[in-house]
Amino acid sequence: MPRLHEFDNDDSSEQMNAINLIVPYRHEGMWVFDDARVGLNQEPFVSGADTMIDVLVADIPNAQKGFKLLFSATPFPGHQVKLEWAREESGGNWYASPQLKMEGWLCPALFKYFEKAPQEIYVKAEQRIEN
């Protein structure tokens, strides 16, 4: 029987990062991001995840043009918010932030970054430095 994902500890190309970085931006009124590394283009944040982003970037100038979003299944220095797994729905997963008093759905693109849905996701949004 074919397997969708095979993870071989000896093959570094299959290893997932401990801290991931994406650069969300506004497109057609929605928060989206591109990540050629995992084959995503204009992947939207929806169902509450977009509203969480609005709160996270409230003090970041020109966030709509792009900001850095760091995230990890383990705590890292300077993280701003901890998201706690709530439930699975429609192939994606709901996460709650007690700190923000909000809940958001993360689509199956989550599995481009994590082998399985983490119990916790630690997040930090910061201004993008343009070269």
Looking at residue 101, its pLDDT comes to 98
Range 122-129 average pLDDT: 96
Give the whole-angstrom CA distance, residue 15 versus residue 56.
Answer: 28
Question: Phi and psi dihedrals of 104, rounded to 5?
Answer: -145, 150
Give the whole-angstrom CA distance, residue 22 versus residue 112.
Answer: 12
Give the whole-angstrom CA distance, residue 99 versus residue 76.
Answer: 17
pLDDT confidence band for 16 (50 / 70 / 90): low
Range 84-98 average pLDDT: 98
pLDDT confidence band for 3 (50 / 70 / 90): very low
Specify the pairing of strand 30-35 against strand 40-44.
antiparallel
Give the whole-angstrom CA distance, residue 4 versus residue 11.
Answer: 16
pLDDT in tens, 99-117: 999 999 999 999 999 999 9
Tokens in use for 69?
Answer: 């979003």
8 vs 76 pLDDT, higher one? 76
pLDDT exceeds cutoff 50 at 11: no
pLDDT in tens, 18-59: 999 999 999 999 999 999 999 999 999 999 999 999 999 999
